[in-house]
């Protein structure tokens, strides 16, 4: 490990991501494609290295990002497969998306005209194709997407009638697929498939790529596979929620977070620790300072609550987590010394701190935590069990 990464680094195990992807593949029907959701920089793991390991896998259709910029970053890195931008994309990005095979999610009437205009301009320069788009349908999020009603059907008919556009896909997103009770999700799935049947009848053909399954649906709702599934959180080995069954798919967390002790001191009973003195020692205490804080994405709400692993043992957090440092109790870990490794997320011997546990301890959400591990934290990638570039 490079000394530059001693303060803190996230280790990303690309083998775990491949393992999760293969298990996703094994859990869906033959012929169903996978889109790797690598928005928010691959849920904090790094979108480009993750896309790179999937470029040659034929059951991976492509990638989904949240924004056009995230898609451009992948193209800048030489990533070639199709990319779908899941959120609304503003018109400034359409020309580049068209040139680079990046599909927008389409649901606003003005998007049709704006997109067609870009295609016509590009055609004037010799381009002969159409712009592939995916229609977003709202079946219960009330977020983006046309509703599965007459207006929605009319909108899609209009999109399909445009010579400049190719309605390659249509998708929806479930609000409640991660619950133990799937009544709502199944009802929404039926509403979506009924709508797809209607569109097929009215337009005389099926839209080629119909998709609705996120991670929770991949695990719990096999009927929602359709033509393609969108795998997000499970790709990284994390669980969509506590209610999703754990026995249907095997996952391996890909990310662990490491640091090193930078200072150790013994303090007497009655010594306050960190801002506000919210913790006061009740005995002679050996304190270790860890050079990581909430500006790295380590939650401040772990103050006086969380713990880290040192020599395979738990060391609890004393006082408030600061912006760039926090303190832990190592009184019971006498072998600990300055420079020793600290595991903030991951396994150390028999002990493990999962992202889900960290979510519980900090009263936050595993999706949120992993996205919060920010740029100040270098990522070190492992492939075939070895560090790689
Ligand atoms: C983020 C997102 C996903 C992936 O969700 P996971 O729960 O991480 O699998 C799928 N589809 C859409 C539209 C999304 O926004």
pLDDT in tens, 202-250: 999 999 999 999 999 999 999 999 999 999 999 999 999 999 999 999 9
Above 80 in pLDDT, residue 1?
Answer: no
Q: Which residue has the tokens 């798919």?
A: 249
Exactly one of 9, 39, 63, 130 is catalytic; name it: 39
Residue 275 catalytic? yes
Question: What pLDDT band is residue 123 in, cutting at 50, 70 and 90?
Answer: very high
Nearest CA to ligand 1 atom 7: 215
Question: What pLDDT band is residue 353 in, cutting at 50, 70 and 90?
Answer: very high
Residue 2 pLDDT = 78
The residue whose CB lies within 8 Å of the most ligand 1 atoms, and thus the one to mutate among 64, 216, 237, is: 64
Helix (H, G, I), strand (E, B) or coil at 328: strand
Question: What pLDDT band is residue 118 in, cutting at 50, 70 and 90?
Answer: very high
Using an 8 Å Cβ cutoff, are 91 and 70 in contact?
A: no
Residue 201 catalytic? no
Residue 64 pLDDT = 98
pLDDT one-digit tens code per residue, 274-322? 999 999 999 999 999 999 999 999 999 999 999 999 999 999 999 999 9
Nearest CA to ligand 1 atom 4: 232
E strands, 216-291, are 228-231, 255-260, 263-267, 272-273, 279-280, 285-290
53 to each of 9, 14, 82, 247, 385, how far by Cα in Å? 21, 8, 15, 26, 14
Above 80 in pLDDT, residue 98?
Answer: yes
- Strands 131-138 and 146-147, sheet pairing: parallel
CA of 174 relative to ligand 1 center, distance in Å: 9
Looking at the whole model, is its pTM more than 0.95?
A: yes
The residue whose CB lies within 8 Å of the most ligand 1 atoms, and thus the one to mutate among 86, 189, 366, is: 86
The DSSP call for residue 369 is: H
């Amino acid at each position: 490990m490079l000394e530059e990464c001693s303060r803190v680094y996230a280790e990303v195990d690309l083998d775990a991501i491949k393992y999760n992807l293969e298990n996703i593949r094994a859990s869906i029907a033959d012929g169903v494609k996978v889109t790797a959701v690598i928005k928010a920089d691959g849920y904090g793991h790094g979108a480009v290295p993750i896309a790179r390991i999937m470029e040659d896998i034929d059951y991976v259709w492509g990638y989904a990002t949240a924004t056009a910029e995230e898609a451009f970053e992948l193209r800048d890195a030489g990533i070639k497969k199709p990319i779908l931008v899941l959120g609304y994309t503003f018109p400034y990005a359409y020309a580049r998306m068209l040139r680079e095979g990046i599909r927008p999610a389409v649901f606003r009437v003005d998007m049709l005209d704006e997109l067609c205009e870009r295609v016509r301009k590009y055609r004037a320069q010799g381009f002969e194709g159409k712009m592939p788009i995916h229609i977003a349908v709202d079946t219960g999020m009330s977020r983006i997407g046309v509703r599965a009603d007459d207006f929605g059907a009319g909108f899609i008919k209009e999109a399909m009638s445009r010579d400049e556009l190719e309605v390659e896909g249509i998708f929806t997103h479930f609000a409640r697929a991660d619950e133990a009770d799937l009544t709502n999700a199944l009802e929404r799935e039926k509403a979506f498939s009924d709508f797809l049947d209607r569109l097929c009848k009215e337009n005389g053909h099926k839209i080629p790529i119909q998709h609705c399954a996120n991670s929770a649906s991949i695990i719990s709702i096999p009927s929602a596979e359709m033509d393609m599934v969108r795998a997000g959180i499970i790709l990284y080995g994390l669980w969509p929620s506590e209610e999703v069954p754990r026995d249907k798919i095997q996952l391996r967390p890909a990310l662990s977070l490491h640091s090193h002790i930078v200072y150790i001191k013994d303090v007497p009973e009655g010594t306050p620790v960190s801002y506000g003195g919210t913790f006061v020692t009740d005995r002679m205490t050996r304190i270790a300072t860890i050079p990581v804080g909430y500006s790295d994405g380590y939650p401040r709400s772990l103050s006086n609550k969380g713990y880290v692993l040192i020599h395979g043992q738990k060391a609890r957090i004393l006082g408030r987590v600061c912006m760039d440092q926090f303190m832990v109790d190592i009184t019971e870990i006498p072998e600990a010394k300055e420079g020793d490794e600290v595991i903030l997320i991951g396994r150390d011997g028999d002990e493990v701190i999962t992202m889900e546990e960290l979510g519980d301890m900090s009263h936050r959400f595993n999706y949120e935590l992993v996205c919060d591990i920010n740029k100040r934290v270098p990522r070190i990638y492992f492939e075939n069990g070895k560090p790689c570039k």
